[in-house]
Amino acid sequence: MKTNGILRVVTRFLIPLIMLFALYIQFHGEYSPGGGFQAGVIFAAAWILFALVFGLDEALAVVPAGAQKVLASIGVMLYATIGVLGVVLGGQFLEFTPLIPGSPQGAQQAGIVLVELGVGITVAAVVMLIYTLFADRLRVVADLTREEID
Amino acid sequence: MLRMRDLFAAVMLFAIYSLVSASLFAVLDAGDVALTEAAVGAGISTILMLVALSLAPRHEDRGRGRNLTALVVVLVTGATLVYATWDLPPFGAAENPIHQHVAPYYLEESYKDIGIPNVVASVLASYRSIDTLGEVYVIFTAGIGVMMLLGATRRRRRQPADEPIEGEETE
């Protein structure tokens, strides 16, 4: 697919829009349908589209496999840290109210935004990671079959 | 067409089914669920199943003979489930437990508690935050599981494969 000019041009045009839409879904999720889960999936879809058209190596140069693993853990840890922070500041696990004393609504909103960010990072990273693993495995299998033919 | 042995067609049917479900959710005004179904069910799941399919033969293996035990198990489970539906409250009735438990509180008080208009976001991220944390763990575990199954390929790359595997090039 690397040589198809129409695909390359359309993809270059579409990927920023998809990523922008993912960010909108992520950070507007408190006001309209959306949230971290959907945003992460859409963001990963933009990267997978890039990998499909320009090849896995180019895509891994943008987000290396190691970074995907680290990001997947960072998202979960961000979520859990917010939960523990509630305990440290004198509340219960995942209670957001103690995060900002004196402003329960603001604390709730801050907690929700951070927690959704954690969800988004983990989901995007894990979807990218699963795609990378399958596509990489596919390449290894193709190499093995080629060696056998030789 | 009772049986689909062509796995590619089965994946496409799954995608169409997800898209129709997403439209149904959109018609029912469940925007969050519709968005999730369209993005995850019709989008990413289809891509991941296609990637997995490119490592597998396109057609399902023909099974040997008939499995009567499986038929009995399926029938008994199905009959139990149908029997259990008789105890369900009437469909859509206002006094059902689902409308009486915590849902009215969420709908009436969530804006006062949290100050954001999307009740689904408040329930998922704040009231039911531990559930959502569990979901994130599930996603994370799925990633680790795939990594453990497929991630160790690089080390064995130079060894010859035990049995020839049919692989297709996508690029």
In 3D space, the residue among B102, B157, B108 whose CA is nearest the CA of residue B131 turns out to be B102
- Nearest beta carbon to residue B125 from set A56, A112, A122: A112
Distance from CA of B29 to the nearest CA of A (A): 10
Size of interface A-B (CB pairs under 8 A): 174
Say yes or no for a CB contact (<8 Å) between A112 and B116.
yes
Question: How much is the ipTM here?
Answer: 0.90
- Sketch the domain layout of chain A as residue ranges: 5-149
Instruction: Measure the CA–CA gap between B155 and A140, rounded to whole angstroms.
Output: 11
Instruction: Measure the CA–CA gap between A114 and A67, rounded to whole angstroms.
Output: 20
Residue B145 has pLDDT above 90, yes or no: yes
Instruction: Identify the pLDDT of residue B170.
Output: 43
Question: What's the structural domain count of chain B?
Answer: 1
Model pLDDT for residues B12-63, shown as the tens digit of each residue = 999 999 999 999 999 999 989 999 999 999 999 999 999 989 888 888 887 7
Domain extent for B34: 1-61
Please give the radius of gyration of chain B, using alpha carbons only, rounded to the nearest integer: 23
Note whether B34 contacts A: Cβ–Cβ < 8 A: yes
Instruction: Identify the pLDDT of residue B58.
Output: 86
Model pLDDT for residues B77-112, shown as the tens digit of each residue = 999 999 999 988 888 788 888 888 888 888 888 888
> Could you tell me if residue B145 is inside a domain?
no
Instruction: Identify the pLDDT of residue B169.
Output: 45
Note down pLDDT in tens along chain A; length 150 residues.
667 889 999 999 999 999 999 999 999 988 888 889 999 999 999 999 999 999 999 999 999 999 999 999 999 999 999 999 989 988 889 888 888 888 888 888 999 999 999 999 999 999 999 999 999 988 888 888 888 887
